[in-house]
Structure formats: structure tokens, C-alpha cells
Structure 1
């Protein structure tokens, strides 16, 4: 009868999973920002350039935001006219449409961290 010894290092595995998840959350948010920038209303490009990703490492969460005095109004006002391909809900719509891709990005980074 042969024997095998298996050692499970749970702390290292959890640390690797967390690092992968953090990397995935950041990359997923960057993906959302990139897609949103293609839809943000544009006149001079100020709103588009104001987009940023913020990551809270302790909670493994990310936020994508646009920081101009009129960002919220441009996002919410459905009656404004925009150039072709540009629209209100420039952050909300891509989040819904890209959620599977974002989840795939996160999952891939977690898998990569364990490989």
C-alpha cells in the first residue's frame, strides 16, 4: 500500500485568492471605465478625461466615477442630445452590459493566482 502526504497551506491559498481577486476587481473596473469613456457625452473631452477608478483593498470593491460639476446631470438627463454613440447613462448601461465580462476578468485573475 502506498501512501501520499498532502500538505494544505490554507493561509497561502487564501492570500493568493485575495490577491487575484483584488487584481481582477481593479482590471474589471478599468474595463468598465474604458467602455464608459466611449459613451460619455463629449464636447471638449473634459468629462471623458475625468473618469477614474478607485479601489478599496480592504473590502475588495472598486468604483468608477467621473468628476466634473455636470457629470451626474449628463448621466441622468435622458432628454439631452448627444453626438452619435454618446449617451446619458454612460456608466450605468455599460455596467449592466459588461457585468459578465467583468466577472470573467475577476475569475480569470483568481484562477491565475492559484496556478
Structure 2
């Protein structure tokens, strides 16, 4: 009977730790940090394609006219694609990472481009 009580106590302790772990995750803090950042994204239509610009304190920091990481000068054909990669770059800047975009990043965001 005592062994059964110990098992229930351990199980209850694990449940409490799991709930506490998920409750105190810093997800909301990260969302607030993104909202309070000095970076801003602007997606612009130019001719028949889209570009994105990242601003830092109202100063142009990055202007990306072509899809990064792919061969040739391929353009973003949709606003959504340019916005996805612009947000990825901005997120990397906010996290103090180098804003490099890879083919893997493009595939993960379902960006359409020609594989040369």
C-alpha cells in the first residue's frame, strides 16, 4: 500500500513540474520583445515582383530585391514570400544572429524559386 502511495506522489510531482514548465515558458516575453524592437519590415511591389526592406530606427538597414541563397537573380513573385523571408531576417536580427538565409530556410517557408 505504501508503494502505491509513493507511485502516486511521484506521478503527481511529475505532472506539477510539467505544468509549471509549460506555464512559465518565455514565449510571451519573446513576443513582447519583437513588438518593442527597433527593427521594422516593409514589403514593396516593384514592377512585377516584390522586395523587402528592413529598417533599424527608421534607417534602411537591408534592401533585398532578389531571393537570397539561390543561384541567379530570382525575384519574389508574391508579397507573402517576400514577407516571410523579411520576417525571418528580422527575427534573426532581433535574436542577435547573422541574418543569413539558406535554401533550407526557403524550403521551410515554402518559397517558390527555380532550382538551377
Structure with more contact order per residue of length (Cα contacts < 8 Å, sep ≥ 6): 1
Q: Shorter chain as normaliser: what TM range? A: 0.3 to 0.5
TM, length-normalised to structure 2:
0.35
More helix by share: 1
As a proportion of its length, which structure holds more strand?
2
Q: TM-score, normalised by structure 1?
A: 0.35
